[in-house]
Structure 1
């Protein structure tokens, strides 16, 4: 009989107990007698969010295809269970076996966003695993991090044994083989880490030291053991068709954030927006074949019973076989009650035509991302979107029956002026005006426009990584300017304006661009009681400020400080393929308000072609 880590009494006393019991449809069960490696795959947030993450589904499927490897899942317990586990000294456990994660060989943590950093410490702490890597003996799991935030792993360097830089379908195989070989030989954890450091894409932070200048910037980042390379090159899968993809994804017991089948149609993006980290680190663009996607869609829907399928990519409109794929999905599944979701579409006639086929225009809203209120600032960020295209796209949508539009903008971008801020309100009003140009008897009620602004964070490996951030007070002032400008518009009653939390954004900026010194702030914040920092009901800005004060770390050093073009960044040891010279060139183009063509229109010489034998697209 399968054991249960939590008693019925505990399960009945907490919110959503199904988060913790496992046994879902398509979850994997293996006999431990046949297993050489146990791998706990962790998403450091609640079950509903973690279960919506495609990357974990891919790795879970990939690992469990190996006969001697057993991959199980673990998520962050919500605050109610967190309290009980601490009081009763219940060790954090994996869902499939309900065994404590401290008994596993590996604890793999996906790091998707900066505001989950204290939850990583929660996982270790509840797992009864020492928080600091240097304090973990041979009896504890190897803690390895992966995901987009590992493109600057330095704030978390003290807590991890390893980081995997890049896409997981390649170097995990030699890594696990090296672990098995080391285990058979009776080697130590140090012996294994030395072998791991020689595997492409693997970074062992304890094998490196950082020297600082008097001003606090980095003088030198260097390896201190022979086995550690000077730079770590990201891992990438060039053939995304003939690779791992879960045909039987695990079906959650409770409604997940994305309660649907996810079909990743391509990786990378051709657009080159200068603020977008994903658009840079996932280069070059790689498309999955139409036949593979058709087969996956059919099998995944059949094996899960989901009633929605989402086509996932950074820019779905740029997938060359989109029309054929959408037509297939409509023909095959629309009459079977399956909805088709198409996020990340651009504003053009083709996208609107596709959306009208798969959405009920009278129920759904359209989402556009102009990012900036003026053409000048869109050119600075290389958005590749003119006001004419935006208004024309909105107009065609209105003519087709839509009357609800969501608009996404950013505040605090490099070179931003008051005119750019007011432009957000003015562009929203122009879109509303376009709706009211439609004869009254042909309109679908009143137009509803929701304009939302997030605050800009300069991310590593983007041309804007040299940009200073605004302060919390400046962000709030910018939002007030937009709010007042909206009130001054002719169609103000049709426009609703929302903005992101400024204090959260400043903290995200520190964690995104931090060095190893930021690690002690994260540890202190956790010890102050910070967890679930991305949740408004649990985020405590005051506790974080106390952590900065008690550790003596200056927020402004990481946020508002001007960067010299030749400054050594904490993440410079990572080779993403995109060269620093290209990023510098794009930063200068931004300051000159010059637009760079997208990848299909002509190669801009970013360096990512080295992963593809020198060719990204046949022009």
Structure 2
């Protein structure tokens, strides 16, 4: 609180000062009392990104429900604000009370992408703490992390005291209460961490180590006596009964998602072989329609938003999606509240439903064929065909859409130039269908616009492709050049991502503990906000790798099927045998069905966790 006056006197000097003032609608301001455990919820990106993250919203309201706890928010300051804070000696602070981070008991990071890791170090440093966990004092907050990327926590193992693995609603309150009990006994932090390591879903990196062989391979994983060999992810077994907030904080400025976010289901069993989320968030669980209607109505009243976004890994796979949308449109469209779908399948049914829900406000449509040929779609187990796409596109144009975005990946295993030619052919065919419909239409239509977006395939942990090699820079650039040269012409546009950035993501995604010193070196050289193209500097990272005598190519090579992985310390429930079987099936182009609609695929998640698929609010 002592810094609030200094902060307010200087905010006019930075862009977007509303990022740093707090006091938004629905903010929770609890009194600071000695008997309350104080948790700073940190998101290592700017305010508008962090404010749109559903997981952080859930944690904020879940923790603040507890009488003995308070949770406040902190986001990564943009570069101009960081410069101001360092110049004026303002430590990193939370938005609710303006207390500096060192006043808290716990600093909890929510992680969504590997390119935010340098921001973690910067936030620790701005808080006045040492970036390395072993060098922090007993008085410093316990630094923990959870989220999408902690299924391989090793690249940042040297900076984090404790990782929680899995879905936090299921056990985070229990973990915090356990920590408070141990802290009240005046135990040193090392003893507290040892005791917390016994809690399911907790991984304490200081209790584990690795030894290395030649060519970057791991020779062995080591664990201290009395510590579990693997940390098992935690999950919510009944999504209908899980906590879900309705009084979302309403920001002062535009954020990524200006709407009520409604999670209709969690998990996916389509078994796309490139998709880490599809493996790590199994099994599939759905909220009931009645519960979703209740949440939506309360959230709209609490926030004043005029849009509901139905979100999940595969929204169109919700068992009763048609009934849900009919009930929502009947209830809310009369009040000019629009409904959007976070993802569409490539079929006419999806377009028809999208047409129903977008009567209030029509936006563009996005389809994700992922690959340009049926052969390659079979390799990645993307169960769609071109005829489905063409029918969906025709239906979209006939229903008044003029803009369609097509999303592909390049660099997928076994990809050839024929597969790239397939992307070009597919995009041009969709454009031609649009022109044909526009020409015949009696209604006035805008010009047809097909946007082709490609990302570079990055092999991820806990997927069937965790063993494959990633494309080198020259190959990626060659593929970009081909697509850019051939996706020219009226009605076509092409976008791609930075190949150097994709390669760095690939290194960190399958990285081990040796990368901690590389990340630290890059941060010391000025690395910040790597996920933002204007901030990424490949030169900095090249220097960091050379200084630490680490060859990034070692992390991008093809892995032996017998190889020990750094992330073998984590148990996501899906067996390594299943992933290896899927990898071999990909090489033969064999498909795997979705176990929601056909027989069990033996991924082992249900047996390992003693759960079942829960469709439509807990029904098995």
TM exceeding 0.5: yes
How many corresponding residue pairs?
613
Give the corresponding residue for 2:449. 448
Q: Distance in 2 between matches of 1:549 and 1:4?
A: 42
TM-fit CA distance, 1:249: 1.1
Q: Give secondary structure in 2 for the equivalent of 1:12.
A: helix
Distance apart, 1:615 and its partner CA:
3.6
For the pair 1:526 / 2:523, whether they are aligned, the reply is: yes
CA distance in 2, matches of 1:74, 1:221: 35
Aligned to 1:43: 43
Query: What corresponds to 2:194 in structure 1?
Result: 194
Distance 2:439 2:108 in 1: 58
Contact in 1 for aligned 2:348/2:391 (Cα 8 Å): no
Contact 2:264 2:286 in 1 (8 A): yes
Q: Is 1:109 matched up with 2:109? A: yes
CA 1:42–1:392 in structure 2 vs 1: closer, same or farther (change >3 Å)? same
CA distance in 2, matches of 1:311, 1:13: 38
Residue matched to 2:559:
563
Q: Which residue of 2 aligns with 1:467?
A: 468
SS in structure 1 at match of 2:209: strand
Say what the alpha-carbon RMSD is for the aligned residues: 1.7
Following superposition, the deviation at residue 494 of structure 1 comes to 1.8
- State the partner residue of 1:613: 610
Distance 1:148 1:612 in 2: 19
- 2:333, 2:360 within 8 Å by CA — same for their partners in 1? no
Give the distance between the partners of 1:35 and 1:26, measured in 2 at CA. Answer: 24
Query: 1-side partners of 2:153 and 2:33: how far apart?
Result: 36
Residue of structure 1 in register with 2:395 after alignment: 396
Equivalence for 1:603 = 600
Q: Secondary structure of the residue that 2:214 maps to in structure 1?
A: coil
Asked if 1:282 is matched to 2:278, the reply is no
Pair 1:233 & 2:229 matched: no
2:63 matched to which residue of 1?
63
1:167-566 aligned at under 5 Å gives the runs 167-226=167-226, 228-360=227-359, 363-438=362-437, 440-442=439-441, 444-487=445-488, 492-559=489-556, 561-566=557-562
Please report how far the alpha carbon of residue 341 of structure 1 lies from its aligned counterpart in structure 2 after TM superposition. Answer: 1.2
SS of 1:437's partner is: helix
Query: C-alpha separation between the residues in 2 aligned to 1:299 and 1:2?
Result: 37
Off by >6 Å, runs of 4+ in structure 1? none
Return the alpha-carbon distance in structure 2 between the equivalents of residues 457 and 145 of structure 1. 23
Task: Give the Å deviation of 1:50.
Answer: 0.3
Q: Distance in 2 between matches of 1:200 and 1:608?
A: 16
TM-score by length of 1: 0.96
Whole-Å separation in 1 of the counterparts to 2:491 and 2:561: 44
Q: Deviations over 1:241-266 (max 9, x none)?
A: 11111111111111111111100000
Instruction: Give the match's secondary structure for 1:510.
Output: helix
Of 109-118 and 492-501, the range deviating more from structure 2? 492-501
- Structure 1 CA distance, aligned partners of 2:568 and 2:210? 12
Q: CA deviation at 1:407?
A: 0.1
> Matched residue of 1:465: which SS?
coil
2:490 counterpart SS class: helix
Aligned to 1:576: 572
Q: 1:95 to 1:445 in 2, by over 3 A?
A: closer
Q: 3-state SS of the aligned residue for 2:437?
A: coil
How far is the alpha carbon of 1:90 from its aligned partner? 1.1
Deviations 1:162-181 (A, max 9, x none): 00010001221221122121
Please, which runs of 5 or more residues in structure 2 have no aligned partner? none
Distance between the aligned counterparts of 1:5 and 1:315, measured in 2?
Answer: 47
CA contact (8 A) 1:62 1:244 kept: yes
For the residues of structure 2 that align with 1:583 and 1:82, how far apart are their CA atoms?
43
Could you report, residue by residue, the CA deviation over 1:483-537 in whole angstroms, capped at 9, with x for unpaired residues? 22324xxxx3221111111111000001101100111110000000010111122
Q: Alpha-carbon deviation of 1:337?
A: 2.3
Q: Matches of residues 7-86 of structure 1 in structure 2 within 5 Å?
A: 7-33=7-33, 35-86=35-86
TM-score using structure 2 length: 0.96
Q: Secondary structure at the match of 1:257?
A: coil
| Residues 129 and 136, structure 1, Cα contact 8 Å, conserved in 2 | yes
Question: Where do 5+ consecutive residues of structure 1 fail to align?
Answer: none
Q: What CA deviation, in whole Å up to 9, does each residue of 1:377-428 have, x standing for no partner? A: 0000000011111111111112222221100000000000000011100000
Alignment partners' CA distance in 1, 2:339 and 2:438: 31
Q: Distance in 1 between matches of 2:365 and 2:182?
A: 54
Task: State the alpha-carbon separation in 2 of the partners of residues 223 and 169 from structure 1.
Answer: 28
Deviations 1:145-187 (A, max 9, x none): 1001101000000000000010001221221122121122221
Residue 300 (structure 1) shift:
0.5
- In 1: Cα distance, 2:372 partner to 2:272 partner: 16
| Closer, same or farther: CA 24–593 of 1 in aligned 2, 3 Å | same
